Structure 1
Amino acid sequence: MLAHSGNSHSRFLVDRPQTLAVISDFFIFLTGGLNLAVSVGWSKAEYTLHFRICWYIGVAIGALIAPPLVQWKRKRIFVILPNLLVAASAIIAVSGYQYLSILIASRYIDGICIGLTTVSFITHVSEITSEHRRGFCLAFEQMALAVGIYVQMLYTALWISGTNFSPNLLMGLCNLFFGCVAAFVSYTQVDSPIQHLRNGDETSAIACINILYQPSILNENKEATLTEMKLYVAVNDAMSLEESFMKGLVPLIKMLIYRSMLSFMISLPIMLALNNSGFISAPNVINWHPILYGFLAVLGTVVASTTLGGLGRKWLSLLALLVTGGMFIGVGILYDDSSNLTNATKMSIVCALLMSAQFLSGIFAPSTTVYLGEAFPLKVKPYFIGICVIVQNMVGLIIVCIFHYKAHTEFIFCITTGVLMVVFAIAFCFTLPETRKTNLREAQEQFAEVITYKIF
């Protein structure tokens, strides 16, 4: 929303406080990555189905109760509550790491925390960041999840069998550490100027803008930002709740599908296919594949975070989705013949395809968060974001519940998923807008259109 002048370096200095304001949530999402990795199979022990899916249920619960809390009082609730929930989850896990029921309770609590934080984070960060910084800051959600997944994959892969130290205890200690860091840096969080304007408190809105944009005095650029925010609030307040709902319906359908693609990319079938192909293609190299696989996911999110504001969201993300779908189809074709499961050459191809797909999935993932922050009218925004998060996690839960590893089921999953990705990637070329360097009001208007041909 800020009309910056000068080069990208000066813009970085101007927008730097916006990045600092989201660091606390980054560490909260790290704990979510650890638990998500366990849900899709990255763990040292075999657990019950309830243990696998309880985190998904917790996220859905958190996303369900978050919207009214977000609209009520964001800062008071969401600076303290996530830290308390992460600490509670970690302490429960550490104190009873040898008991399955206690670990399940811990995973429920962390899931609720992630559901609450996801809705709050996307809603809040989209409002406090400029059009130049919004993509980078919102990408922190998927980047942190990828790092958390990688941490879980690393110590699972490198764990020495027979050690007296429990991996569940280590995970609890990691969550406790991340929660403490999140609490320590939570002072950097800043209220949303838009929320203050909606409450009729322009003085507090100006104070927040002065914190979020350097230098910390009101100047011409900040006055332009304030004016645009006022217009954004006025346009949305002028719509009734029914009008906001109807205007958000088309974006909601788009984002339900778009966000749910993540559940196919980070899933139990893909983990099982990777493990099998890694063991068969290189039997003498122990657990090399998860180390590289997790790194490529993190690398992909880092690449995406640095390009969402410059190159744009649309073409790179959809290209990544399209090629990922093609690679999944390739994996499915190889699984059509069960004899390929013991063929080192064929399994090395599967492994290479999944590695490449993981990197591209990392490039795709951050755009789902950015689009969620831009798509919906203000009155229904947290509710529609919550619906998208709930559906995404329910898709992941269903996959865990119904999938059983065999060549035929892997073939069906990869072919079906790959075809869906290819079809929707093509469809999104004509239905998703390119919102690079557009303010929230403009992005909201573009999303309301059923068809859009804008690519750059």
Structure 2
Amino acid sequence: MTTSITTGQAPPVIIATTTTTTTTTTGQPLPTTYVEVIEEPQSQRISNRWTNTQNAHAATLGLLLFAYGGMDMAQGLQWNLNTGITTTYQLEYSWFIGVIIGAVVAAFTVTHVPKKYLYLLAGILQLIDAIIFVSEPNDYTSIVAARYVGGVGIGLLTVAFIIHNSEVYLGFSRGKWCGLEQFGMTLGILIQVLMDSQWHSSSSSSITINEVHGIIGIVFAAFATSSVAMSVESPIFHLRQGDENGARTSQTHLLGTATPQDVYNTLFDEYKRYVMEGTSQSFGKQLASSVVPFIKMIFCRCLVAFSFSVPLSLTMLGSTLIWKASMLSWPMILWSILRFIGALLAICSVDLIGRKFVSLVGLLCMSALMLSLAGITAHDTYYTNTYFMSQVCRISMAFQFFAGLFVISTPTYLGEAFPMRVKPFLIGLVVCIEQLIHIIVIVTFLKDAYCFFQYFVGVGIILVVGLIIFGVLMPETRGLSLRQAGDRFRRVHDIIAY
């Protein structure tokens, strides 16, 4: 039986279906009743204000720190052109190794330590990274050490940020707030690429590009770290510790004191059901039920590593030099801006259109454009041809736009996919695999014509396979509670795209 309720003060989350089971005295459960709660647009806007006003500081924290992380990542993916520091494998992969270390540490501590302490530690590590860049901008060893330290900070932040935002933000706004992780990384890529490609180095220059890199990092890290004091822990964290009073206090801080009591109770009961289901199952049982979600996330989150990589950066650099005879030209500027525009469009629409549809559009176009690059780079003579290199340049720019569309939904899916007990470990594992892909590409790519063709064909096929898997298996979780989204992920297939 389905009952639809429309109220003037609807709960702050659109609950697609809530299951209630009653047991009779004979021990036989009665038929399940599905209650569909339909929220009016006006009350949804009010609820959005309750949550967003109280938690915008947490999003700002993540945005600024991830932006500096994006700058560090881009520097390791060939955007180290005018720094005066020799580009080596160690310089390139050092940051990614740091991220792996940080993600592993966060996976084991995030359920026991309040997130604000992990945020604080991540901010301090980013600040140390930036200070080293300013104080020793021309010393190779110091810069490599700074990149290791900064990577550890981003690894800590990534796991904590995704878990925290997936728990405190509601179904109709979770997409954009979790998506700030990739939006911040995209902003950092934009800053580093523009700064590095357009930098005019000269002997009379009083400041180096690494010093500017560090100054930006100091500003971002200092501002973000100073906002940690305002961070509000998730009610789920307190409930897992058996502290119901602390959970209620956190929820009051998150929603505000003007929240109607029925709205407050509805949301708190949903948190309690989520924790109750998570604690009632053993670790092994939850791990077994996570096999399907884990496979889905491998073909979702790990594709992010192919959206910005060493071969793609070298392709853009080489094609621009052949076409325009200089990097100080509009294609290089537009290339990084288009990724940011794509990410901006995605973060504005992911909770309106849906996570899956936006990601599918981005992934479909990425697959086609990657195979187009393979078709052109299959011919050695095209590498010095102005016309074909102009086409490669245009395709690369278009690819970055659609990559921006695709990546925004991945942190939201990562925060929704796994059961409560195993969530931090599997999120950390997926993040580590993503970094390993970057490292493998860095150390195995030989930078000759045939390797470009091999890379584009191989990645193009991976993207096509990922597109099929994404379209058939990935769920649409817009408007669902965290518990309901997890149930959808554990289904084998889910072809609904809107």
Mapping of residues 267-416 of structure 1, within 5 Å = 267-283=309-325, 286-416=328-458
Which digits, 9 at most, give the CA deviation of each residue in 1:113-133, with x for residues without a partner? 000000000011100101111
Quote the residue 2:222 is aligned against: 180
Q: 1:121 aligns with which of 125, 141, 161?
A: 161
Aligned to 2:107: 67
Higher mean Cα deviation, 441-450 or 286-295?
A: 286-295
8 A Cα contact 1:275 1:289, kept in partner: no
Deviates more, 1:306-315 or 1:6-15: 6-15
Q: Provide Cα deviations, 1:198-240, integer angstroms capped at 9, x if missing partner.
A: 1122222122112222454452112110011111111111111
SS in 2 for 1:72: coil
1:6 aligned to which of 12, 35, 41: 41
Q: Is the 8 A contact 2:338 2:401 kept in 1?
A: yes
Residue 184 of structure 2 corresponds to residue 144 of structure 1: yes
Q: Is the 8 A contact 2:116 2:228 kept in 1?
A: no
CA contact (8 A) 1:268 1:400 kept: yes
Task: State the Cα RMSD in Å.
Answer: 1.6
Hey, what does 1:37 align to over in structure 2? 74
Tell me the secondary structure at the aligned position of residue 103 of structure 1: helix
Q: Is 1:28–2:65 an aligned residue pair?
A: yes
| Paired position in structure 2 for 1:47 | 87
Secondary structure of the residue aligned to 1:58 is helix
Determine the C-alpha separation between the residues in 1 that align with 2:394 and 2:145.
37
Q: Which amino acid aligns with 1:205?
A: A
Please, which moves more after superposition, 201-210 or 28-37? 201-210
- Determine if contact 1:251/1:448 at 8 Å carries over to the other structure: yes
Q: Which one has a bigger Cα radius of gyration?
A: 2
Aligned partner of residue 200 in structure 2, secondary structure: coil
SS in 1 for 2:299: helix
Which runs of 5 or more structure 1 residues have no equivalent in the other structure? none
Q: Is 1:226 aligned to 2:271, yes or no? A: no
C-alpha contact (below 8 Å) 2:122/2:153 kept by paired residues: yes
Inter-partner Cα distance in structure 2 for 1:406 and 1:80: 43
Q: How does 1:432-451 map to 2 (within 5 A)?
A: 432-451=474-493
- The equivalent of 1:15 in structure 2 is 51
Summarize the Cα distance change of 1:349–1:357 in structure 2 as closer, same or farther, 3 Å threshold: same
Whole-angstrom CA distance in 2 between matches of 1:315 and 1:22: 24
Unaligned runs of 5+ in 2: 1-10, 14-38
* Residues 206 and 6 of structure 1: CA distance in aligned 2, closer, same or farther (over 3 Å): farther
What is the SS of the residue equivalent to 1:315? helix
The structure carrying a bigger helix percent of its residues is 1
Kept in 2, the 8 Å contact 1:67–1:383? The answer is yes
Q: How many pairs align? A: 456
Corresponding letter in the other structure for 2:41: G
Going from structure 1 to structure 2, the CA distance change for 1:277 and 1:111 (only over 3 Å counts) comes to same
**Contact preservation (8 Å) 1:90, 1:106:** yes
**Pairing partner for 1:87 from 122, 127, 143:** 127
Q: Distance in 1 between matches of 2:327 and 2:93?
A: 31
Secondary structure class of the residue paired with 1:161? coil
2:328 alignment partner, SS class: coil
Residue 213 of structure 1: aligned partner: 255
Task: Give 3-state SS (helix, strand or coil) of 1:153's partner.
Answer: helix
- The one-letter amino acid of 2:365's match is V
User: Is the alpha carbon distance of 1:185 and 1:324 closer, same or farther for their aligned partners in structure 2, counting shifts above 3 Å?
Assistant: same
Please give the alpha-carbon distance, in whole angstroms, between the structure 2 residues aligned to 1:75 and 1:265: 29
Answer yes or no: is the 8 Å Cα contact 1:83–1:180 preserved in 2: yes
Are 1:29 and 1:141, in contact at CA under 8 Å, matched by a contact in 2? yes
Query: Displacement of 1:192 after TM fit?
Result: 0.5
Aligned partner letter, 1:26: L
Q: Deviations over 1:72-100 (max 9, x none)?
A: 11235223211211122122222222211
Amino acid at match of 2:473: T
CA distance in 2, matches of 1:309, 1:327: 26
Contact kept? 2:299, 2:469, Cα under 8 Å: no
Please give the secondary structure, in 1, of the residue aligned with 2:478: coil
Task: Name the aligned partner's letter for residue 189 of structure 2.
Answer: I
CA distance in 2, matches of 1:325, 1:66: 33
Does the C-alpha gap of structure 1 residues 238 and 291 become closer, same or farther in structure 2, counting only changes over 3 Å?
same
Contact 2:116–2:231 (CA under 8 A) maintained in structure 1: no
Shift of 1:10: 2.9
- 1:111 alignment partner AA: G
**What do residues 422-442 of structure 1 show as CA deviations (whole Å, max 9, x unaligned)?**
121012211111111111111
Partner of 2:17: none
Whose relative contact order is higher, 1 or 2, with alpha carbons under 8 Å and at least 6 apart? 1
Once the two structures are TM-superposed, the CA of residue 112 in structure 1 deviates from its matched residue by 0.2
Query: What amino acid maps onto 2:51 in structure 1?
Result: D
**Cα shift at 1:371:** 0.4
Determine if contact 2:370/2:460 at 8 Å carries over to the other structure.
Answer: yes
